[in-house]
Amino acid sequence: MSEAPQSPTKDVLELTDVHVYYGAIHALKGVSLNVREKEIVTLIGANGAGKSTTLRAINGLNRARQGAIRFQGNDITTATPHTIVKNGIAQSPEGRRLFPRMSVTENLEMGAFQRTDRENFQSDMDRVFELFPRLHERRAQKAGTLSGGEQQMCAIGRALMARPKLLLLDEPSMGLAPIFVEKIFEIVLEINNQGTPVLLVEQNALMALDTAHRGYVMETGRITLEGPAAELKTNEAVQKAYLGLD
C-alpha cells in the first residue's frame, strides 16, 4: 500500500507524552502519537520496546501516570476499559482469548454484546463472513478446535462485531503460516477501506510498513522515528534493525 489517503486531517486518537509504569519499571517514557480518520498506523519495534503497553494504555488496562490520551476529542486517559470499549475502541487479538467451547458464530455474537443497536447485527455478521469465508465454513465449529490462523480471524471478526470506531491490532500475524499472514494483512486493508482506522502493532515490520499509511518506531519506551510508511521502509536504520537489510 503506497498511496496515502487524500487528506486525513482529523485525529481519531491522540497520545501526548504518555508515561506508563509497571511498579518501578518505566515502560513508556513519554509516548506521543496519533491516528487520523481513515488511516492505518503501525507501531513497530523490538521485543520489549513498549508496543503492547502502548495498546494497554489506550484500552485502559494500564493507566498512564502522566500524559493524555484523547479519542474522538474526548479525554480517555483515566476511563475504564469498559467505557473505552463502549466508546468504540476494539482490540484484537484480545488478552482474553476466544471462548473455546462456543461456536464461531457464538464468539462473533459475543463481540456485539455491548451494542445497543440490534438492527444491523445480521448485516455485520454477514460482513464478517464475507471478509472471512473460512469462518463461515466453520461457523458451527467450536472455536477451540480452529487452527491458529482461523482463531486469529475469529478474534478479529469478533472485534469487528463491536462496530469499532478504532481497531487496535496486537500482532495479528503472530504464529501464523505465511499464507495466513498475507490473508490477515489483506483483511486489515479491507477493513480500513471500509472506513475503520487501525492502529497496528507488529513484529513483521515489512508487512506492517507495506500495509500502513504511517508508522512509528519504538525503542525502550520511546518513539524514535515516525513518518509515512513508505519513507520508514527506505530508512537505513529501519532497514538494518527491523527489515533484516544491510
Cα→Cα distances 149→19, 37, 104, Å: 34, 28, 13
Task: State the minimum distance, in angstroms, from the CB of residue 201 to ligand ATP.
Answer: 7
Site for ligand ATP in 9-48 (CB under 6 A): 22, 25, 27, 45, 47-48
Under a CB-based contact definition with an 8 Å cutoff, are residues 84 and 33 in contact?
A: no
Per rule CB under 6 A, is residue 175 in the interface with ligand ATP? no
* DSSP symbols for 145-196: GS-HHHHHHHHHHHHHTT--SEEEEE-TTTT--HHHHHHHHHHHHHHHHTT-
Name the residue among 33, 32, 40 with its Cα closest to residue 5: 40
Contact characters 197-216, ligand ATP, x per CB under 6 A: --------------------
Size of the site for ligand ATP (CB under 6 A): 11
DSSP state at residue 93:
S
Return the C-alpha cell found at 25.
Answer: 519499571
Contact characters 43-82, ligand ATP, x per CB under 6 A: --x-xxxxxxx-----------------------------
Task: State the minimum distance, in angstroms, from the CB of residue 2 to ligand ATP.
Answer: 26
Q: Applying CB under 6 A, which residues contact ligand ATP? A: 22, 25, 27, 45, 47-53
